[in-house]
Structure 1
Amino acid sequence: MAFSSPRATSLLLGHGRCARFLCSSSSSSSSSSYSFPEHISFIKEVAATQPPQHLSQLLRILNARDESILSPGAKQGLMPLAIPLSQSNSGAVTALLRWPTAPTGMEMPVVEVRKHGVWLLAKNVDQFIHRILVEEDANNGIDELFHAASDAGEKLYRKGDFSKSQIMDVDVYLLRKVGLFPDVLERKVVQHFENGGHVSALVTGEFYTRKNHFPGFARPFVFNAEVLLKVGRNVEAKDAARGALKSPWWTLGCKYHEVACIAEWKDEQIEYRTEKMTEEGRREDLNKGKPAFQIALDEAAFLLDLASVEGTWDSTLERIAECYKEAGLHDMARFVQYKD
């Protein structure tokens, strides 16, 4: 369920972590001061984790950009680990990602939800706010976004800092002063190619894949495979693509089959995951000494991978939830099953 007005309040109906979150109008709030309590409550009580400190400010910024704020429980048809925040006029959904077991430094990244998975927008809410304000300032944008950011904006970025830096390129400023972003790094590689700098393109592509930059995400390895393919290093491209497919497929940033093609795989990996989820596959893992909880987590991960191939998420939710229960992650089980 979406609402486009900033004048909204949340009614938490019922009790416990599976209570429903609804939105209703209120005349006492404005976009500059509204705190979006339904999102805070949802993250605490349904997603069972700590909300980002400046989430309310981000939601106000998204609202000021004319995006429709979504109910956090409006998860129908979406990648099940996403917590919806807003939807743009083009239909793009911005969300938080709730990992079952989060990589260090990526506890709750900001993502764009796509049919086959998610695209990383920023490692955290603060970084995303910082980027939005920089780009708005560089484009001589409206003051409303800075007003919406309020105290978070003052902590992260002061209007005019971009021009004072004397850095002419916004992407360069973002990389130096704000952080690393997949789309910015990929743009830099494309620019290197356009300028004839193939070595610089290769170096940047390799830099993109460093494991501490975007842990848990396959996209850097996919893009690096494409870069290597472009310069005729096909064997290395194949290895990079195969490496990408060791990460969650819903983080590839494209369709599975596009990466499998570079990896020179047909359906081997799909068949492998399917076989591992059979009774025989589970028994084999147990006989090898793998703990039962890890087998359950692996199955949940395999189910998410397979669902991402066609982008059909809802049909596997019940089994994914069962896997999380078997692994002792009861909060995650409730979260993935929740829908408005």
Structure 2
Amino acid sequence: MTAEVIPLKPRPSEPSLGPIMALTAPGMNAVNQVILERMQSEIPLIPALAGHLIAGGGKRMRPMLTLAGAALLEYGGTRHHKLAAAVEFIHTATLLHDDVVDGSDMRRGKAAANLIFGNPATVLVGDFLFTRSFELMVEDGSLKVLKILSNASSVISEGEVDQLTAQRQIETSEERYLGIIGAKTAALFAAATRIAAVVAEKSEAEERALEDYGRNLGIAFQLVDDAMDYDSDGSEMGKAKGDDFREGKMTLPVILAYARGSEDERAFWRDAILGHRSGADDLAKAVDLIARHDAVSATRDRARHYAQRAIDAIAGFPANEARAAMAEAAEFAVSRRF
């Protein structure tokens, strides 16, 4: 199954995260304070390792979506601050675990935590952050929020395992790939946005609209991440270029290039994905084949389709600053180079 590509409507200037960052800045200050407090421990290694990743930057997209959703619904309380921190802890925990599984060297432009602190400590601190996230959910007291975020955590884990089993499997289909990224990335985007409607005590329809926004944005975001592994500089991405290639990950650029390639090209991809061709020259050839078959362009086109679906999902809400900022964030997700 392939997605029908719907073009984004053109805008007069380059989209940015500026509007959503400005919208959520006061709330993010409160969220960052919760994060700082809850990552502390009497065991010095825990805040040191957690802080290495958390203080390393990142866009904080997921907690920003919780805050932006609350602003869209004109929620005036503060419950969403702790929940946004819980969302970021879930995300950070998955990143720590991912870096161990993938054997990553870089994360957010600096050495991955597992290289500095070792794999056992990195996994265990990831577990610590998961427990902190659930403490925050319990403190909130909403069983519905707990159900949404715990289910997202379960789906993310399933997606990561599915990606692991698809690794080095050249016959991985586009449909399966979309299922993987829908689980490992989009599930948390969807949950982060939906819980804003729960704390604002809005209708099920409004919950679903925000959930649809988050899920489609998450898919667009991951599609662009996977495209950037083949068409961006490593310094822009904050990780080594070609990591997906060396790890034998079947992302959409590879799936499309393989499907569109000659038999000789397919033979190259079979060897490469099995790990027999993973040197610098092999990566250069992979990039060339992907460009030759417009696989990155096609991947970005699909990302635009999902970004437009995200924008359409919130079209029924009143036109306000928050809706405009969320729409521009979706446009930024597909135009970004980092």
TM-score (norm 1): 0.29
Select the structure of larger CA radius of gyration. Answer: 1
More strand per residue: 1 or 2?
1
Higher relative contact order (CA 8 A, sep 6+): 2
More helix per residue: 1 or 2?
2
